Structure formats: structure tokens, C-alpha cells
Amino acid sequence: MSAEARLRVVLCWHMHQPQYRDLISGEYRLPWTYLHAIKDYVDMAAHLEALPQARAVVNFTPVVLEQIDDYVRQVDGFLNDGLAIRDPVLAALGAAALPSDGDSRLHLVKAALRANRLRIIERFPAFRRLAEMGEWLVAHPGSISFVSDQFIADIVTWYHLGWLAEHVRRKDARVQHLMAKPEGFTLHERRQLLEIISGLLAGVIERYRRLAQAGRVELSVTPYAHPIVPLLLDFGAAREAMPDVRLPLLERYPGGAERARWHVDQAVAAFQQRFGFRPAGCWPAEGGVSTATLELLAAAGFRWTASGEGVLRNSLAKSAPNAQTNNSTQAPPPCLHRSYQVEAIPIRCFFRDDGLSDLIGFTYSDWAADDAVANLVSHLENIATACHAESGAVVSIIMDGENAWEHYPENGYYFLSALYERLSAHPQLELTTFSACLDAAAAPPMLPGLAAGSWVYGTFSTWIGHAEKNRGWDMLGDAKRAFDTAVGARRLSGEQLQTAERQLAICEGSDWFWWFGDDNPTETVTDFDCMYRMHLANLYQLIGEEPPQYLSQSFTRGGGEPRHGGVMRPGKQG
């Protein structure tokens, strides 16, 4: 098969963590941003650096970029000027005096247990022994006062060693020296590990910037705080895929169009500030699209966007009423592997191959790496044969670039290495980027209409429709009206207004609504419920209003077991 006839394949990795920082106190409530940065963001860059022929799209959200920058400043300030680190887990790694009160010590032990048991804890015998003791302490919290500082120091140290990128573990002699020591870590050794972490954090954005400059990666962005833009614009968008959905009491989100534009504009500005150029593409939060959303993205200058397979299926059914409606068990639509233009809106839309993406996200983690890659390549070869070198054919594999890898041996090291090598060298396949597809393809086929939805089932059911999700929107609507009143009364100006507006944006993020409901793990539901209420209460404080009493009354109830550690989501990684 000639180079011109090869099937284009795009690997798009989405890097996102919500805002875990209390914007008023500066303290981090959960450590997932810096942990994923030193493990997954570092490893994903290293795989691409190691193979010059490899190509990928890497999507960053501004809120995760801002948190990385903040962690860099914190750790640098601690190491060089003795300033405080405002993340209690990271702070403990470099602390000369560990917390003495039982609650703080128990918090550190519990935090150190929040790692994949098989792939991170069990992999290292020393960490396993510490974790077993830690589990006993959690079950017998009254005993925490008898635990030595050395135990706390050791379990915190191994927690951070366990979360390091595999490339770092294999190449950094300092890390290898630390991992050879099962216990008894000194303050000097703990601070040496903190210095390693500092260097990793400081290099993340620069490494991806260099890859982009070399043409080996296309970088794209998501609207600022990861909001579901179609719902900001119109709650009624949810009815396009779910006609009978029960919507919030709030008729529509106040000023939603203006807020959606703000998120898009701020995303572009944040991206340009860090990478030095304007992004061509936008992965909207959760692949959430609607006709109005595409118009907004096109007006902002984006050339491409992407969504889920279910959205395409529903859109085809909308334009051909006798066609089948969305069903996650159906075979992919025969026209999935191409990009589209919707009506006359000047932006190209790609659609995720759910089956192939979910094989990487959930199935292959228990396979031998070579077998998993061979299986994926076999699927792609079948698609290449079916497409018969069709002009514009492209397979879009889109998934989170973070959480899946802790379920693979060695953080996906063997799988990802083999994946890039096989795809880069395959005579039938061309590993490429979305922008390159636009430049190479002829005029795209037209979709006469778009059924609003996301990459999860092709609907917005994950963020609206459940009583608790709807209540979350009503609470947000109350806060937005209070914000509008303060702005209208000119009580906010300058930096004060900017801070309040950014706090409002965090409240508008999608992650809080994801976790509301009764089908998620209790501990994580509680974490996110508390953070959402904290962010709303902060907004009221910033505009000079008393927070409503209901913000102190949790309404969430969780259940079930998490598929992934950290920020995890059914059907995908988060």
C-alpha cells in the first residue's frame, strides 16, 4: 500500500484534573494534579521524545496547567526560600517536623493508601509492608498516636516513589538509590526526592512545547475550567438525545452564552501564554457539542473539534429518522472514520472510535503488551481494508492520558512503547494529528444537523437529569445570580472582579456534576461534593455575600466501587 493510501490514525490524549486548590486559602484538597504530572504527563512526553517518528495530539485544560505552574512555584519557594507548600501530602515529604496530631497523621496514612493496589503498592515489597500497617491503622485509628515519625516519613516517601514516571524510575540513579532502601528515609533523602519532583514538575510544560515546536505533537485545549458548554448555552440541548430528561428548576443558566465565550477566550489566552502560539483544535469538555457550541468554537478561530461516536450516531438518526438511535452495544456507524462539517459552520468535527479507545482504557491493561498492540493493530488493519484508501479516512482514538496507565504493568511502559513503534512503522497506517488530517484531506462530507451530546453515551446524562445533578445546577444558578447582582451594583472591580470571575468559572466545571448521584464510590463522591460546596462558598465570600445555609448540608450519597484511583469516571478515565 502506498504512503498516500495509508489509513490515518490519530491518538489524542486528554490531560485534565479539576481545580483542587482552595482559591482563597491556597491549600490543595487532593494531590492528583501533581501526582499525575510526575507520573503520567512525564511518561507520555518521554514516549514521544524516544521515537521521532511518533505523532500524537495532546490536549491540556487551562486549570491543570495553572495548577502545575502553582506547584512549581510552591516547591521552588520551599526549597530555596523556606516557604510553605500548601499541599499537605507533598509538604510532608520535605517537612523537618512531621504533624504531631493524630488526625493529620491519619490523613497522611490514608492518602498514602490511595494508589493502585496491584500495580503501585504490591509492585514494591517495602511499600506493601508499609501499606499493610497503614490499613491496620485506618481500621484502628486510636493507635495512630503510637506510630513513630519514621513510619509516617517512610510511607509518605514510598507513596511518592510509587507515583513516579517509569522513565524516571529506569533512568535516574538518585531514584534507583532511594528505591533500594526499604525504610528509614532521612530528611536529606526525602528532600532529595522533593528536588526530583520539583524538576519533573518544572519540565512538564516545556517538554510538550518543544515537542510541538518540532512538529511531533499537536497541542490543543479545552475551554478554561472544563465546563459542559452546550449546557451553559442551553439546558434544552440535553433533550436532543434524551427527550424525556427532567431538567433543573433553573430554566436556563444565567448569562450562559457570555460565560461560554469567557471560558473559550480564557483557554486560548492561557494556552498562548504557556506554549507561545494559538491552538488550532479544541477538545470540548467531555466531547460535549451542540450546533451552538460548534458556532462558538468556529467564531473563536478553532479549525477542528471532536466528540464521541454516540453523537455521530444520534446525528445520523436525526437526519434520517428511520435510522437506529444511539446504543452503546451497536457496531460503529459505517461512516465513523472521517471528519465532518456540520451545516455551514466552518469547523471540522472528528468522532471518537469508542471501541478502540475503550480497549486501551479498560481491556488491554491485563494483557501482555505485545498481544494488546497486535490486537489493536489488527482492528486498524481491518478498518484500513474496509476504507479502501478512502480520501479523508481517519481513525480517532481519544481518551484521557492520565488514569489508565496505573492499571497497566510499569505504568503502561511496554504497551505504549510497542504501540508507538508498531503504528509508526506500519505500512498501512499513518500516525498523524488532526490538523495534519485537515491539511491533507479533500472537502469533508456535510452533516445536515448535529444531535447535541457528549462522548459518554452520546448524551448529557452524566451531568444533568438526576435529582442531585439538577440540584447542583440550581445551586450554581443561585450563585451566578448573586455574582451578577454584585457586578451590576459595581461592588467588584479590577483584581477583585477577576478573582471572583475565575472562582465562578471553577464552579462551572463539569467534574462536580459528574460525581453527584448514587452510582459512584462514596469516598470520591464526598470529596467532590465538599469541594464543590467550598468553591461555591468561596464565590459568595469573594462577592461579599453570606453563603446560603444549604451549602453546609451535603446531599450526595455514593455507592459501588471505583474502576480507577484518583479522579476516575465510569466508561473512561478522568
Is residue 216 included in any domain, yes or no? no
Give yes or no for a contact between 357 and 398, defined as CB atoms under 8 angstroms apart: yes
Domain boundary among 416, 447, 478: 447
Is residue 519 included in any domain, yes or no? yes
Show the domain range for 366. 3-16+222-447
Is residue 185 included in any domain, yes or no? yes
Do residues 277 and 172 share a domain? no
- Residue recorded with cell 504501540: 419
Do residues 125 and 265 share a domain? no
Do residues 299 and 245 share a domain? yes
Do residues 415 and 290 share a domain? yes
Cell of 527: 470529596
Give yes or no for a contact between 271 and 283, defined as CB atoms under 8 angstroms apart: no
Is residue 50 included in any domain, yes or no? no
Residue 414: CB atoms within 10 A of its CB come to 17
Give yes or no for a contact between 265 and 300, defined as CB atoms under 8 angstroms apart: yes
Do residues 473 and 441 share a domain? no
Length of the chain: 574
- Residue recorded with cell 494508589: 115
Residues 6+ apart with CB under 8 A from 230: 237, 288, 289, 290, 292, 293, 452, 460
DSSP labels, 136-200: HHHHSGGGGGGS-HHHHHHHHHHHHHHTS-HHHHHH-HHHHHHHT--S---HHHHHHHHHHHHHH
Do residues 229 and 192 share a domain? no
Domain boundary among 201, 233, 250: 201
CATH number for the domain spanning 306: value is: 3.20.110.10
Do residues 295 and 329 share a domain? yes
Is residue 8 included in any domain, yes or no? yes
CA 103 to chain centre: 30
Domain boundary among 150, 172, 201: 201
Query: What predicted TM-score, i.e. pTM, was given to this entire model?
Result: 0.94
Do residues 261 and 376 share a domain? yes
Cell of 475: 445551586
Is residue 459 included in any domain, yes or no? no
Do residues 268 and 397 share a domain? yes
- Give the total number of structural domains in the chain: 3
Give the separation between CA 153 and CA 257, rounded to whole angstroms.
50
Is residue 24 included in any domain, yes or no? no
- Residue recorded with cell 519533573: 200
Do residues 99 and 156 share a domain? yes
Give yes or no for a contact between 165 and 43, defined as CB atoms under 8 angstroms apart: yes
Cell of 2: 502506498
Residues 6+ apart with CB under 8 A from 363: 372
pLDDT per residue as tens, the chain (574 positions): 444 579 999 999 999 999 999 999 999 999 999 999 999 999 999 999 999 999 999 999 999 999 999 999 999 999 999 999 999 999 999 999 999 999 999 999 999 999 999 999 999 999 999 999 999 999 999 999 999 999 999 999 999 999 999 999 999 999 999 999 999 999 999 999 999 999 999 999 999 999 999 999 999 999 999 999 999 999 999 999 999 999 999 999 999 999 999 999 999 999 999 999 999 999 999 999 999 999 999 999 999 999 999 999 999 998 775 554 444 456 677 689 999 999 899 999 999 999 999 999 999 999 999 999 999 999 999 999 998 756 789 999 999 999 999 999 999 999 999 999 999 999 999 999 999 999 876 788 899 899 999 999 999 999 999 999 999 999 999 999 999 999 999 999 899 999 999 999 999 999 999 999 877 777 888 899 999 999 999 999 999 999 999 998 775 444 333 333 333 333 333 3
Do residues 433 and 528 share a domain? no
Give the separation between CA 339 and CA 393, rounded to whole angstroms.
8
The separation between the first and the last C-alpha atoms of the chain, rounded to the nearest angstrom, is: 38
Give the separation between CA 420 and CA 143, rounded to whole angstroms.
49
Cell of 438: 485537515
Give the separation between CA 9 and CA 426, rounded to whole angstroms.
11
Rounded alpha-carbon distances, angstroms, from residue 144 to 108, 136, 141, 192, 410:
11, 10, 6, 27, 32
Ramachandran sector of residue 127 (left: φ over 0; alpha: ψ -120 to 50; beta: rest): alpha
Do residues 476 and 443 share a domain? no
Is residue 324 included in any domain, yes or no? yes
